[in-house]
Structure formats: structure tokens, C-alpha cells
Amino acid sequence: MGWMMVLNQNDMAYHTTVLLHEGVDALEVKANGVYVDVTLGAGGHSREILKRLGPEGKLFGFDQDSDAVKNQPDDPRFQLCFGNFRFISQFLTASGVDKVDGIIADLGVSGHHFDAAERGFSFRFDARLDMRMNPSQEKDAVQVVNEYEERELGMLFKRYGESGFAKQISRAIGRVRNEKRIEMTTDLVRIVEQVVPERKVKGELPKIFQAIRIEVNDELQVLEEFLTQVPDLLNTGGRLVVLSYHSLEDRMVKHFLRSGNFDDKQEKDVFGNVLRPMDQIGKVISPSDEEIEANPRARSAKMRVGVKR
């Protein structure tokens, strides 16, 4: 049994943008405003924002992947920031910008990353374990799988993958790597298949690969650093739109908007008002059934919108 699928790379689009119009609608783009798309990816949200900007408007786009940079809009109002969005304040300051009117973050992994076999993000292909969003960084999935202690791996699989087989899989990895280095996606798939009941393998593989990817790219720490900078960057009334794809990210965004911190500890003034820099607008938004049918990867997306007080 195996979950590797051989796909034709030429048949794949780079990425289908999730909640494209809903996300940009939520920004309430002003013609002369300044906006930031911190996850350029295929450029879908950026192009839609540019459609709504006037000649005096400005859009900054972030990405740390040279593949995504090829998708940047050819527009004088657009400026590329080649780097991780955890450094948003530094990039904007260097560009002479103190405040912006809106920021959008689509935290999902690009379809391109999952479909490019050589990037090692997916268990569907036989490829070297990589999973780096930034191909120039040193730490990759091979390093995590082979050099982390079994206990560390078990904690990763449980926390970041919410796996029910975290301990069994981490122990199996320890046994296998005592004999040989684990370097290929198929090596990891076989290990999971050996210790997880067959009927549950298909559901377990995405959890294990997700956990390793989050660790390789420091995704939750990046999100925390980014969110803490947002209130100081937004003008009063400025909007933050965040699309997340797993419960850990969504919980962080929800807590930050509700309480101004990630522990969801609400401090109140003498009148009982919660002291927080932003308010959440409306309820969490999910893709429609029609969008999910057209793009199954949108299924887990949740969008939250905040406004600067």
C-alpha cells in the first residue's frame, strides 16, 4: 500500500487563491490607500487589490520564495519585499512607510509547493524531504527528522499535527534512523504505514507532514511576531485580514483580535472595556460549498478580519 501519486507537473496551476474576493472586500480598499499583501504566492490577492487602487495607491507584497517572486504584478504601484513577513516593520520603514491602511495574510501553503515534487512538501511524491518555504535557509525536513530527539519529534507531531500516533511514529523514526538516514518522503510514508492502522494512514500522513513543515519554517513564531507588529503599522480604522488553514493558527489570530495577546487573557479598564488594540469584525468566514468543490484545498480555510481601534 502507498499514498504516492504520480502527477503531471504541466497540468497544474501555480495556485488557486482562496476567498479571493471576500478577502479583498474585507480590506475595504481606498483608492489612495497603502496596503500590504504579506503572502504574495500566486499574486491573486495582490492583483485584486491593484484593481481597486487608484493611481496614487500603493501595494507592498512579501514573499521569501524565488518561485513566487516570478508572480509579482508588473505595476508601478506594486513594490516587492523579498523576505519573510516577520520583518514587515523593517521593510516598510526602509521604504519610508510608517502606517498602512490594510494588511492581508493568506497563511496557506501554496498549491505550487505541494505540487512541485522536488520541494518535498507532499507525501504524494517520491522526493527528498525538504519543506523549506525559503530554499536558501539551512534547516530542512531531513534535518528535523534525523537530528531531533525522539521526544522532540513526538511533541511536534502531537502539538503541530494533533496526531494520535505521535509517540509511536517518533519511536519508529528513531528505530529506522539508527540503521540509515531518513531522506525521502517515501521513507517517512513507510514508517507511518508500519505503525498506524491501515484505515487511518491516509488521515495521519497530512498531520505528520504538516507538523514537520511548521517546524522547518517556524510558522507559528513567524505568525506571532507578525501579529504583534500589526497594530502599530495600521492607521486607525485600518483592516487586517488573515486566512488560516489549521486550528493552531486560527486560535492565535482569534485570541489576538479578542484579547490583544495569544493567551486570551483579557485586561479591562475601570469601565469593564477590554484593553486591546483591535476589534474583530463579524464572524469567522469559510469558503462556500461551490468554492470547495472547485478547489478542495480551500476546505480548511478560515478568514478573520480585524480593525485597528
CA atoms of 298 and 101, how far apart (whole Å): 27
- CATH code, domain with 21: 3.40.50.150
**What pLDDT, on a 0 to 100 scale, did the predictor assign at position 12?**
37
**Do residues 14 and 44 share a domain?**
yes
- Count how many residues are written for the chain: 309
143-163 pLDDT, tens digit each = 999 999 999 999 999 999 999
**Do residues 33 and 154 share a domain?**
no
**What pLDDT, on a 0 to 100 scale, did the predictor assign at position 2?**
42
Phi, psi of 265 (to 5 degrees): -95, 110
Domain boundary among 188, 217, 246: 217
Domain boundary among 192, 217, 242: 217
**Do residues 199 and 237 share a domain?**
no
Residue 189 has pLDDT above 90, yes or no: yes
Domain boundary among 181, 199, 217: 217
**Do residues 105 and 22 share a domain?**
yes
Stated pTM of the model: 0.90
Percentage of the residues of the chain whose pLDDT score is greater than 90: 84
Q: If pLDDT is split at 50, 70 and 90, which confidence band does 65 have?
A: confident
**Do residues 304 and 249 share a domain?**
yes
Identify the residue with better confidence: 270 or 8: 270
Whether 120 maps to a domain, the answer reads no
Whether 147 maps to a domain, the answer reads yes
**What pLDDT, on a 0 to 100 scale, did the predictor assign at position 111?**
54
Q: If pLDDT is split at 50, 70 and 90, which confidence band does 14 have?
A: low
**Do residues 25 and 101 share a domain?**
yes
**Do residues 98 and 234 share a domain?**
yes
- CATH code, domain with 183: 1.10.150.170
Segment 215-225 shows an average pLDDT of: 97
Domains: count for the chain: 2
Whether 72 maps to a domain, the answer reads yes
Instruction: Give the side-chain half-sphere CA count within 13 A for 64.
Output: 16
**Do residues 154 and 275 share a domain?**
no
Q: Which domain holds residue 169?
A: 134-217
Whether 274 maps to a domain, the answer reads yes
103-138 pLDDT, tens digit each = 999 997 755 555 565 665 677 778 999 999 888 899
CA atoms of 223 and 47, how far apart (whole Å): 23
Whether 234 maps to a domain, the answer reads yes
